[in-house]
Structure 1
């Protein structure tokens, strides 16, 4: 069995290498704009760095719109290191994409451009090939706010600055990181994604309330076992289908099933249940695997999610929500003002979710507003986006007043 697994892994690796060579040849012949380096005033000054495969593209997609806002003032580029990601981003990304397969390609870009700021959305090991350059400010922007242990990784010390959502994130870093001045090394920007208008790709039954169930994945280590698909999800979905009084958007994490086939099978069972029930239900019962994350907040009246960035994204809407309690005793669960104020949902309660949702939709949670401010600061329309753009431009051109800066001409 071990030999067979080794052979399968070798065959898979060989196939990936062959595909990469074919993709590189295609880029060399038909997508040479991926090597474009502008000159003069159009030289790039800000980069969004993504060295990962497209299964993790959800991490970068959520930054398209905020970076587009920043691009109104300074030239920006997305740097990618994989040929498959370069070709995919070429099709979907609204920003210029530069493909840098080797460190020499990265050096050519840095030498020819005027990069003052590089953003990182994850902790890919190839980040360090970019971070060896001294000139740009290297800034970690992550891919969401949460109480996961990931949010206080010691790796954050490598960056010049961390753009954090609010005071809660700064306090979290002070608590968990040794020899780290969080006040000096963080900039509080809120959640600029909440200031973007999103179009929904589906129609819903507007006479019914809409529930978003957005569980996280199974995790890649015991401390990250927050995913609720197997413990809560199937019972929860069965209960809502049986009730019939709610639209349901089921949005599993894109990485679901990567480390646990059982977890992936649970997602598939829910997908099949929704497809079958939706054919005869007055409610819309949707399996959502669309690429964009954001329209779900606007369309939903309540969210059920796990300890993840989704909880904090939805929190900023001020709408009611439940956060599942992990069944794994190894999962890291810190004391959190957010989790203390947001009602918890245990695995045993999942079957009673319909009644719990109706209760939550009619009751006020008095302490919620203070928690939102603690985690995100000012969430009035446009405030987060303005903070993100302003803090970014400070690292590019120095102290600025955004309203006094000229907009760039259209490319």
Structure 2
């Protein structure tokens, strides 16, 4: 059975069990039948725990069906009360009346906690979120405990004693158990309410909105940023910004990172650069009056147009990767002052696309982040040839040639695994399956094929697993404030009263040590499915002897190594037409969807004398990435300084026009603007 079917079946089973449990509880309460009432209630509680721990997607689905955890918990307790009343008869209704009243008071307290928690959250939602900036003046405090912020989890935990007490009373007939359970739930609810209410006092609140904005303006005036990275995107897109953090940190001047989504503050990788998140457009416009001269954009988003309205800042598009796909020469790029590309190939791509980007606005800067990619050191020397299969995702346009996962993925993987001397690293794109469900299903099937191959090739794990645990603990400690889900709207990073200079270098060293320990901890021939945040793509590059990919930016980046690579052709074009349409495949072995060329490809990798594309790769590397001298970081820095100079000149002209006397009238444009 396919893995995707197993997941669907698991969810269906959970839904059926939960529905059956409530149906059985209803029957048991109306009959009444004590054993069935106890069993069905316990079963529904067990399913609740399973849902909250392993099936959180189902929790969201049930909430959309108006059957969220609060509704389910109220129904569960209501059926228990009905069962008790049916068991006791009319002579015990008065005995149960205080218990019902206590249960109602508990639910009233639950609603009160929810209302107060919303008020507390609103007071703690600041207009500006920061990292690596001393925000102690804003009187920040830790967020309330998780149970006081999540109504579903809170009701499940706080209401568990009352539910257990009602069950015990149903089993024994002694009302003391229900009274004790309800009393415990009431006590927990009162403690939670007492924890939240003082946070509404003026002395416990953080700074107000205007005070925060005044503080932000003062910080901008003191820090005087010159160049910034602007980024907006979804949860899975953080990698697009993270790849530019190190080049940004190596620039001359005072860099700044500008984000638009609060959650992105956590998804950003460790860095020493000051980070500000400005969710509202009105607050974003405050950058117009700052010393910021250049904003670098690694991606296009709906919110990009908002910052492009600032006339005092020059904007440049660097993209998060370059390929022959149409998305790499998007017409939106003409909205920027300049477009920075890696090498001559991208310049030619924009000229051929005719999307409105003028050649004078295209600047070649190389790819400074590729310094981490080690150069080709010869054919594989060990018993295994390591192959990295890194397909891209299906894209938005429905082009069948975008990704090889659907039509060729399984064939490629099976052909590679058929060679006993191959070790496969499979790293799918994070967005695989987000548009086309067929891609997601194929991805899951590929993973199952790899797991099956590993079961047949069981290897002895090295004795360095302990070192990996130590390296992981050290890296987790250093990155504890980043790449984690946000606990509250006032991000934890703002509680750091002072930046930590040198932290990024410390994290880089710890990451390098972790990567060495990770690869050393694996059996020599074990295939890997790489989907976690670590190891990163470039680390996989350094371990691979060969790349198999699609037409994507992965190819251009891998060319920095000089190693052989192959491109899957699922476009339907003949090989010659395919190479013409996609120049990045000109130095690649082109594989058809049936993966028939895999054995010949592996033979060329293992025997360099049969590698006929080595010279072509070197030539293509120069066209895609530009010359190695001067280094990319130096060219990137020069482009920044040149654009900063242009921004300063532009500001000077604007100021001169504003302060010039209007012919035939008294005053200046600035005076008229102020009036």
Any conservation in 2 of the 1:247–1:284 contact (CA below 8 Å)?
yes
Q: 2:453 aligns with which of 255, 277, 281?
A: 277
The DSSP-based 3-state class of the residue aligned with 2:641 is helix
Aligned pairs (5 A) from 1:269-308:
269-279=445-455, 280=458, 283-291=525-533, 292-308=536-552
Any conservation in 2 of the 1:23–1:83 contact (CA below 8 Å)?
no
Q: What is the alpha-carbon distance in structure 1 between the residues aligned to residue 399 and residue 127 of structure 2? A: 46
Q: 2:635 aligns with which of 374, 387, 404?
A: 387
Query: RMSD across aligned C-alpha pairs, in angstroms?
Result: 3.3
The Cα shift of 1:386 comes to 1.4
Any conservation in 1 of the 2:228–2:294 contact (CA below 8 Å)?
yes
Any conservation in 1 of the 2:129–2:276 contact (CA below 8 Å)?
no
Residues matched between the structures, number: 373
CA-to-partner distance for each residue in 1:212-252, whole Å, 9 max, x for gaps?
11000011112474111122211222222232212211111
The DSSP-based 3-state class of the residue aligned with 2:619 is helix
Residue in structure 1 matched with residue 558 of structure 2 by the alignment:
314
Residue in structure 1 matched with residue 584 of structure 2 by the alignment:
338
Q: 2:409 aligns with which of 216, 228, 233?
A: 233
Quick check: 1:126 aligned with 2:327? no
The Cα shift of 1:179 comes to 4.8
Any conservation in 1 of the 2:406–2:442 contact (CA below 8 Å)?
yes
Q: 1:364 to 1:375 in 2, by over 3 A?
A: same
Any conservation in 1 of the 2:231–2:298 contact (CA below 8 Å)?
yes
Any conservation in 2 of the 1:59–1:143 contact (CA below 8 Å)?
yes
The Cα shift of 1:390 comes to 1.6
Q: 1:97 aligns with which of 266, 275, 279?
A: 275
Q: 1:101 to 1:347 in 2, by over 3 A?
A: same
The DSSP-based 3-state class of the residue aligned with 1:66 is helix
Q: What is the alpha-carbon distance in structure 2 between the residues aligned to residue 152 and residue 161 of structure 1? A: 13
Q: What is the alpha-carbon distance in structure 2 between the residues aligned to residue 186 and residue 22 of structure 1? A: 49
Residue in structure 1 matched with residue 342 of structure 2 by the alignment:
165
The Cα shift of 1:264 comes to 0.9
Per the normalisation by structure 1, the TM-score is 0.81
Residue in structure 2 matched with residue 65 of structure 1 by the alignment:
246
Any conservation in 2 of the 1:231–1:327 contact (CA below 8 Å)?
no
Q: What is the alpha-carbon distance in structure 2 between the residues aligned to residue 92 and residue 341 of structure 1? A: 36
Structure 1 stretches of 5 or more lacking a match?
A: 1-6, 199-203, 400-411
Residue in structure 1 matched with residue 666 of structure 2 by the alignment:
none
Any conservation in 2 of the 1:304–1:323 contact (CA below 8 Å)?
yes
Q: 1:127 to 1:351 in 2, by over 3 A?
A: same
Q: What is the alpha-carbon distance in structure 2 between the residues aligned to residue 384 and residue 224 of structure 1? A: 34
- Structure having the larger proportion of residues in strand: 1
Per the normalisation by structure 2, the TM-score is 0.51
Residue in structure 2 matched with residue 201 of structure 1 by the alignment:
none
Q: 2:324 aligns with which of 136, 147, 167?
A: 147
Q: What is the alpha-carbon distance in structure 1 between the residues aligned to residue 356 and residue 621 of structure 2? A: 28
The DSSP-based 3-state class of the residue aligned with 1:274 is helix
CA-to-partner distance for each residue in 1:98-117, whole Å, 9 max, x for gaps?
11110111012332x31111
The DSSP-based 3-state class of the residue aligned with 1:277 is helix
